[in-house]
Amino acid sequence: MRTLIFDTDIGVDDAFALAFAARTQRLLGITTVFGNVAVGQAVKNARLFCEKMQIDVPIYRGCSRPLALTPSEPAKLHGEDGLGDAFVNPYSDIAPGAVQFIIDSVRAQPHEITLVAIGPLTNIASAINQAPDIIPLVKELVIMGGAFGTDGHSGNVTPFAEFNIWKDPHAADQVLSSALNVVVIPLDVTHNVLISSEEVHQLNQPVLSAIVRPFLAYSLQKEGFDGMALHDTLAIAWLCQPEAFRLVQSPLRVITEGIACGQTVRKIGPLASREDPFHHLPTQRIALGVDAALVRNRFLCTLSDRNGSPP
């Protein structure tokens, strides 16, 4: 069990990940960021979901826009409010600052806090820009984001870019090229861990069943699958079952302009070149393979309370 700061632009699959994290990890705080929804809506969503799911954890308000790009529209596959338009949301969008909370928490508990980032990386980039002293003090940063083309799994916003990275590529480039201890969980593995709509409802989690409807409809329409990829949940699965993942190690960069803006790129060979964009960069870990059955079983057992974990 890790002590987590859970950084999220909370939409439907983020909510599934948060429910899983609340049952398997120690949540120190939820920091919100723009992405699937505006940051104020993310604060409201985090409060609503935590109240509905009886998750007792403080919530913080983070960055409202990318570091450099003009903000883009929120995602629509999560419904207008990000949680499937399933509930009236009476909660306030006012909350303490997320970036300062990250900085203060890491300083107070050096080498003890794992950051899990399942939205744009703007809060994380802002924290290390404002307080670079925290970089060696973070235990681990687990990111759901990016795509490297394994088995054809490339971008889901453009042919090159995954949504979370595309939303703020400058922040992602800063974070992935930093000395933080990073594990990247990209679309290469998240697209391989699927649960059917029937399995969602068999969890006997009324809140999850309510919020997931537009997400399932989008998946059926766009991908022909009556179910969902667990995407963000795999960042938590890494903490629970690292043995289920096959990792490679490489320096990383993110393309920040042009038609490939938001593409995550890794160094894939030693061939000498005139200019090396990876020169002196630290090596990061990237998940390019996953035991989907192992991860699915743990998730389904945990959320359905079948002894909390697989046999």
For the chain, give the DSSP string: --EEEEEE---HHHHHHHHHHHHHSEEEEEEE-SSSS-HHHHHHHHHHHHHHHT----EEE--SS-SSSPP-PPPSTT-TTSSTT-S---------BHHHHHHHHHHHSTTTEEEEE-S-SHHHHHHHHH-GGGGGG-SEEEEE-----GGG---SSSSS--HHHHH-HHHHHHHHTSSS-EEEE-HHHHTT-EEEHHHHHHT--HHHHHHTHHHHHHHHHHHS-SEEE-TTHHHHHHHH-GGGEEEEEE-EEE--SSTTTT-EEE-------SS-TTTTPPPEEEEEEE-HHHHHHHHHHHHTTSTTS--
Whether 231 is a known active-site residue: answer yes
pLDDT, position 310: 34
Say how far residue 194 (Cα) sits from the centre of its chain: 16
pLDDT, position 306: 55
- Are the CB atoms for 19 and 215 separated by under 8 Å? no
- Give the Cα separation of 28 and 292 in Å (integer): 28
Catalytic residue among 153, 170, 191, 231: 231
Instruction: Pick out the chain residues at pLDDT < 70.
Output: 271-272, 306-311
Parallel/antiparallel/unpaired status of strands 182-185 and 140-144: parallel
pLDDT, position 311: 29
- Please identify which residue in the block is written with the tokens 């109240």: 51
What is the reported pTM?
A: 0.95
- Are the CB atoms for 285 and 249 separated by under 8 Å? yes
- Of the candidates 264, 104, 79, the residue with the CA atom closest to the CA atom of residue 168: 264
Q: Cα-atom radius of gyration of the chain, to the nearest Å?
A: 18
- Are the CB atoms for 164 and 142 separated by under 8 Å? no
pLDDT, position 264: 97
Parallel/antiparallel/unpaired status of strands 284-290 and 245-250: antiparallel
pLDDT, position 283: 95
- Are the CB atoms for 118 and 17 separated by under 8 Å? yes
- Give the Cα separation of 146 and 162 in Å (integer): 5
Q: Which two tokens stand for residue 199?
A: 């399995």
Q: How many CB atoms lie within 10 A of CB 76?
A: 11
pLDDT, position 308: 41
pLDDT, position 236: 98
Q: Fold for domain 3-303? A: Inosine-uridine Nucleoside N-ribohydrolase; Chain A (3.90.245)
